[in-house]
Amino acid sequence: MDLTALPKPVLETLSYQEGFSQGTQMAEKIPEELRGKFLEGFRAATTSTLDEEAMLYAAGGHSARQAMQQGLDAPKMLQGMEDQLSEKPAAYSQEEIAAAFQAFQALQQQAQSGAGNDNNAQAAQDNLEMGQAFLKSNADKEAVTTTDSGLQFEILESGVGDKPNATDEVTVHYTGRLLDGTVFDSSVQRGEPVNFPLDRVISGWTEGLQLMSPGAKYRFWIPANLAYGQNAPPAIGPNQVLDFEVELIKVGS
């Protein structure tokens, strides 16, 4: 892409910002007493006083430094360049090269997996602490009842009739939210209630719906240990307290 096609004021602004950004990187990575050398080389290149040989020499040094920072074997890298330019056969077979790339990809995947595990562990701890603090505060509200298991509920509307047993089938409408208000699942939004055996869902639901009669509408706050714990789906996340509004429509199939 040729940036010179841009209007001159736009090109000047972009160029200045790129220089400003590189200046920030220089301030972080290059000792103050050496920064002038970089600027001197840049200025010489823009005024055509730096010949191509010197520029290539500098570029070679920069490439070697990058290779060593990445952990590559710089002398072997140099040998590869020299062999290619002198048209020598490659020092390693295609099988050896393929095996090396496979080992490199495995190392990449391991590093990414490790970072993902660290992030997941931190999220699990953060969510657990936030959930515990919320439940402690929520329990003080007059309308909220906390059961022995730690399940919390508020009666929004009372129902009439027999409450379900743990093995009964129920039909419900519900909306599930995270504590920040994010809706992660909702039969209401889909426009169709769901039917399921009460012993096939998270334990917070199994316990909570046995408190309800048909026609009742409750709001439940389900601690992580009564929901999905650390093995929650990605849309929920580990150790989340779940906020459900549930209407029990019918008991039985």
Identify any residues that bridge with 169 across adjacent strands, giving them in sequence order. 197
Residue 45 has a pLDDT of: 67
Q: Per-residue pLDDT for the chain (253 aa), expressed as one digit of tens each?
A: 566 776 777 667 767 777 777 777 778 777 888 878 777 777 776 665 556 677 677 777 777 777 777 777 878 877 887 878 788 888 878 777 777 767 767 666 665 555 555 567 788 888 899 999 999 999 999 999 999 999 999 999 999 999 999 999 999 999 999 998 899 899 999 999 999 999 889 999 999 999 999 999 999 999 999 999 888 888 888 999 999 999 999 998 7
Backbone angles phi, psi at 59, to 5 degrees: -65, -40
Parse the chain into domains and list their residue ranges.
3-88, 138-251
DSSP designation for 202: -
pTM score: 0.55
Distances (CA, A) of 246 to 46, 113, 147: 69, 37, 17
Residue 33 has a pLDDT of: 85
Residues labelled catalytic = 174, 184-185, 202, 228, 244
Distances (CA, A) of 148 to 55, 61, 132, 244: 75, 69, 15, 19
> The domain 138-251: what is its CATH number?
3.10.50.40
With 0-12 / 13-18 / 19 or more C-beta atoms within 10 angstroms meaning exposed / middle / buried, residue 50 is middle
